[in-house]
Amino acid sequence: MNTALTRVGPAAERPAPPEEVESSETGGKEPAADAAPGPSTAFRLLVTRREPAVRLQYAVSGLEPLAWSEDHRVSVSTARSIAVLELICDVHNPGQDLVIHRTSVPAPLHSCFLKVGSKREVAECKQRFATSEDPTVSQTFMLDRVFNPEGKALPPLRGFKYTSWSPVGCDANGRCLLAALTMDNRLTIQANLNRLQWVQLVDLTEIYGERLYETSYRFSRNEAPEGSLRDFAEFQRRHSMQAPVRMEWSGICTTQQVKHNNECRDVGSVLLAVLFENGNIAVWQFQLPFAGKESISSCNTIESGISSPSVLFWWEYEHNNRKMSGLIVGSAFGPVKILPVNLKAVKGYFTLRQPVVLWKEMDQLPVHSIKCVPLYHPYQKCSCSLVVAARGSYVFWCLLLISKAGLNVHNSHVTGLHSLPIVSMTADKQNGTVYTCSSDGKVRQLIPIFTDVALKFEHQLIKLSDVFGSVRTHGIAVSPCGAYLAVITTEGMVNGLHPVNKNYQVQFVTLKTFEEAAAQLLESSVQNLFKQVDLIDLVRWKILKDKHIPQFLHEALEKKIESSGATYYWRFKLFLLRILYQSMQKTPSEALCKPTHEDSKILLVDSPGMGNAEDEQQEEGTSSKQISKQGKDGDPEDPTEDSLPQSGDTGGREPMEEKLLEIQGKIEAVEMHLTREHMKRVLGEVYLHTWITENTSIPTRGLCNFLMSDEEYDDRTARVLIGHISKKMNKQTFPEHCSLCKEILPFTDRKQAVCSNGHIWLRCFLTYQSCQSLIYRRCLLHDSIARHPIPEDPDWIKRLLQSPCPFCDSPVF
């Protein structure tokens, strides 16, 4: 094994023997000066447990069983289903626990048989191989699980091998899609569109098999004609060319679509690369939003020539608005390389001229996991890509920089991390911090430190046993902004004995302090609360515990609001006030967040779309509060209805009630500010897209009057905008009418419209139209409601309806 470590690349640092670092860890000695970097005090990490631990019903299965999506859902591959845990930063819940909404993707009912020929032919051949006189054929055939997914004498292959989340913005609601690979090689794409049930949008294994069948299992006309299926080697070849090993999504890219009138239109698309057993890679291109088979725009197969491929990942490098892409592929024998991916249709997209070898030795250290993070090199002053690969108990890293001289590659191994092989690796995309874990409950945090030309890693041990007691670990995943680490655990040894039963749990620990989270939120370049749910959840936890907003955060936020005025900071303020309001609740938090039987009933009765998907019972204290809200039709924005102090506690209520009223007043003021800002945006769209005589269907006059009605509100941009619009509209008013009695619906309230006969309609908070139907959409936190787009809506109204919630940034669906 050590031979591998001496063969590092030209820029390699000298790796230290593992024991040296290990001892500095446990004994608290200073690491030897020229040893691999040990933990320095600057990087001391304190992890804290977050409740609740989520119990899994089935054993975890597959490779890297845990994945955390950009929209804050954690998928866990198990032997019967994929458990999906959605982290909700609930502003209506006073409980200090994480609020987790559980759903699950059931495994298909039927085994998957890869299509290697016509039904009759395949049945004939199988019979022939099973009864072959040649034991190398009959035994190989009988024992191969790809050929025999149902098993017969062998236990059935069930459960999931791997899952991969698409970037956010891919499904019809603008959220993430889940690519799921079963143990028996069925690769499907799943979506959760109604919050409860997952639906399969497409079966890629089936489509790919059909395509191969139609082209007689050849990729080009020049290829030699196919062999006969009766030949066992050919039978094996046709299986291995379509048995997926892993799959990974690219980032969202833009493609040009030519319309009927020869006009070009930019369309979002995403790529899914699927690595097969024989080393081939299928690159699927999907149009967004992905809806199913009709969204497939192409599928190209790349022959990598890599034997025993084990893992792949996208390499995406951006430099001067030019995007470079390729696929990083690792092999079970050791090598790692980047392959070019040619896709003509993708705008501004470039690839390599030839493959780049990152590690060439066949040193039998299997590549288990690969991650690639884009970073900025502060000394070389250019963007660079950090590629990390888990190989045995080591981390291989590679830094790629593109300069005028061409592509620079620096590589090395980090040793002394684990005494057992790495079972799982995850990376924080914001800063390149890598976490590795071995099965003995030890997690390493690796922090990249830039040097003049390349980088080095500082690393330190996170002993989960300090937090959870003795545990075995099966997988880890870091949250998108690096606030939390999710870990799959089972009981470890107690008094030298293995546990009798294995209880699989997903547990959470914090990786950042509240101060770090707050600072990151204040300096955020994303400016979207929903995308930073993990960070705001840490802030929520702190405020609920302390029952006040820390002074430094309050002051820093007020400064930001004053200096930039960006609505993001107003939304952040609204969030803090709402949590502060919850923290003032007199009711014991348990009473509100523990699920009651009624809650579960509401959930079942009120969700017509719910089938057997939820095959795993609701966890106590995780989701009921959040779910039960869906069944309620009152205005969820009004916090008075269920959150004022409860009776039963007579003494000293008045100061608290006053305080609550004060916070509520502030909440309303911030909501009003955000509403006005959004109204200005809507009016701006109306002005841009309409002409005098056109009926906009948006209550324009009502919006203008509403904005002008408050004398205290003096906003120059609003006045100028309203002036322009008034000129355009002349004296026309375009009032809305009640669909029940045809009376005029006046615009007096931003939340609802009431006609003179007392019919009440809620207002869509994205367009301020009255929602005259009983079906509408809500944001994830149920702040408000929005209507569904209809085919008659002009494009600009459809775009407005795609906006996130103006109060919390979450998608509306």
Quick check: 403 and 381 in contact, CB under 8 A?
no
Give the shortest CB-665-to-Zn ion separation in angstroms: 20
Check binding of 667 to Zn ion (CB under 5 A): no
Give the shortest CB-766-to-Zn ion separation in angstroms: 11
Q: Give the interface segment with Zn ion, choosing from 33-41, 383-391, 671-679, 773-781 (CB under 5 A).
A: 773-781
C-alpha to C-alpha distance for 467 and 485, rounded to whole angstroms:
13
Give the shortest CB-812-to-Zn ion separation in angstroms: 8
The site for Zn ion, by CB under 5 A, has a size of 13
Give the shortest CB-675-to-Zn ion separation in angstroms: 12
Place of tokens 């799921």: 180
The single residue among 458, 807, 811, 813 that binds Zn ion, judged by CB under 5 A, is 807
Give the shortest CB-741-to-Zn ion separation in angstroms: 4
Give the shortest CB-95-to-Zn ion separation in angstroms: 19
The pair phi, psi for residue 245, each rounded to 5°, is -95, -50
Nearer to Zn ion, 440 or 809 (CB): 809
Quick check: 74 and 84 in contact, CB under 8 A?
yes
Give the shortest CB-170-to-Zn ion separation in angstroms: 21
52: cis peptide before it, omega within 30°? Answer: yes
The single residue among 720, 740, 744, 790 that binds Zn ion, judged by CB under 5 A, is 740
Nearer to Zn ion, 314 or 530 (CB): 530
Cα-based torsion angle of the residue sequence 307, 311, 317, 322 in order, rounded to the nearest 10 degrees = 60
User: What tokens appear for 612 in the block?
Assistant: 């057997």
Q: Give the interface segment with Zn ion, choosing from 350-358, 373-381, 620-628, 783-791 (CB under 5 A).
A: 783-791
What percentage of the chain's residues is helix, strand, coil (to nearest 5)? 25, 30, 45
Through-space distance between the first and last CA atoms of the chain, rounded to whole angstroms: 53
Place of tokens 């049930």: 197
Check binding of 759 to Zn ion (CB under 5 A): yes
Nearer to Zn ion, 535 or 779 (CB): 779
C-alpha to C-alpha distance for 245 and 240, rounded to whole angstroms:
10
Segments in 564-652 forming alpha helices (H): 567-583, 589-593, 597-605, 624-628, 640-643
Nearer to Zn ion, 485 or 781 (CB): 781
Q: Give the interface segment with Zn ion, choosing from 59-67, 386-394, 570-578, 755-763 (CB under 5 A).
A: 755-763
Nearer to Zn ion, 458 or 783 (CB): 783
Give the shortest CB-810-to-Zn ion separation in angstroms: 5
Nearer to Zn ion, 215 or 772 (CB): 772
* Residue 516 CB burial class (10 angstroms; 0-12, 13-18, ≥19): middle
Q: Give the interface segment with Zn ion, choosing from 162-170, 621-629, 693-701, 801-809 (CB under 5 A).
A: 801-809
The pair phi, psi for residue 389, each rounded to 5°, is -135, 130
Give the shortest CB-782-to-Zn ion separation in angstroms: 7
The single residue among 276, 805, 811, 813 that binds Zn ion, judged by CB under 5 A, is 805
Give the shortest CB-602-to-Zn ion separation in angstroms: 21
Give the shortest CB-89-to-Zn ion separation in angstroms: 11
Check binding of 808 to Zn ion (CB under 5 A): yes
Give the shortest CB-805-to-Zn ion separation in angstroms: 3
Check binding of 760 to Zn ion (CB under 5 A): no
Q: How far is CA 675 from CA 364, 680, 802, in A?
A: 61, 9, 17
C-alpha to C-alpha distance for 69 and 176, rounded to whole angstroms:
7
Give the shortest CB-277-to-Zn ion separation in angstroms: 45
C-alpha to C-alpha distance for 239 and 280, rounded to whole angstroms:
12
C-alpha to C-alpha distance for 23 and 17, rounded to whole angstroms:
11
Check binding of 673 to Zn ion (CB under 5 A): no
Strands 160-165 and 178-182 come out as: antiparallel
Reduced to 3 states (helix: H, G, I; strand: E, B; else coil), residue 593 is: helix
Q: Which of residues 286-305 bind Zn ion (CB under 5 A)?
A: none
Q: Give the interface segment with Zn ion, choosing from 329-337, 610-618, 710-718, 779-787 (CB under 5 A).
A: 779-787
- State the DSSP code for 629: G
User: What tokens appear for 116 in the block?
Assistant: 């290697």
Nearer to Zn ion, 494 or 760 (CB): 760
Segments in 229-292 forming alpha helices (H): 232-240
| Residues contacting 422, CB < 8 A, separation 6+ | 368, 369, 390, 392, 393, 394, 395, 436, 437, 438
Give the shortest CB-627-to-Zn ion separation in angstroms: 16
Q: How far is CA 197 from CA 160, 200, 337, 421, 607, in A?
A: 18, 10, 39, 37, 10
The single residue among 779, 786, 797, 800 that binds Zn ion, judged by CB under 5 A, is 779
Nearer to Zn ion, 257 or 756 (CB): 756
Nearer to Zn ion, 235 or 807 (CB): 807
Host H or E run for residue 660 = helix 653-689
Q: Give the interface segment with Zn ion, choosing from 40-48, 60-68, 546-554, 759-767 (CB under 5 A).
A: 759-767
Nearer to Zn ion, 704 or 738 (CB): 738
Check binding of 741 to Zn ion (CB under 5 A): yes
Check binding of 781 to Zn ion (CB under 5 A): yes
- State the DSSP code for 500: S
The single residue among 118, 732, 757, 773 that binds Zn ion, judged by CB under 5 A, is 757
Check binding of 739 to Zn ion (CB under 5 A): no
Q: Give the interface segment with Zn ion, choosing from 8-16, 253-261, 739-747, 760-768 (CB under 5 A).
A: 739-747
Check binding of 357 to Zn ion (CB under 5 A): no
Segments in 337-478 forming alpha helices (H): 465-468
C-alpha to C-alpha distance for 150 and 678, rounded to whole angstroms:
57
The single residue among 467, 682, 755, 801 that binds Zn ion, judged by CB under 5 A, is 755
The single residue among 63, 511, 722, 738 that binds Zn ion, judged by CB under 5 A, is 738
The single residue among 783, 786, 800, 801 that binds Zn ion, judged by CB under 5 A, is 783
Reduced to 3 states (helix: H, G, I; strand: E, B; else coil), residue 330 is: strand
Nearer to Zn ion, 90 or 599 (CB): 90
Segments in 482-588 forming alpha helices (H): 514-522, 533-546, 551-563, 567-583
C-alpha to C-alpha distance for 571 and 516, rounded to whole angstroms:
19
Reduced to 3 states (helix: H, G, I; strand: E, B; else coil), residue 106 is: strand
* Interface with Zn ion (CB under 5 A): 738, 740-741, 743, 755, 757, 759, 779, 781, 783, 805, 807-808
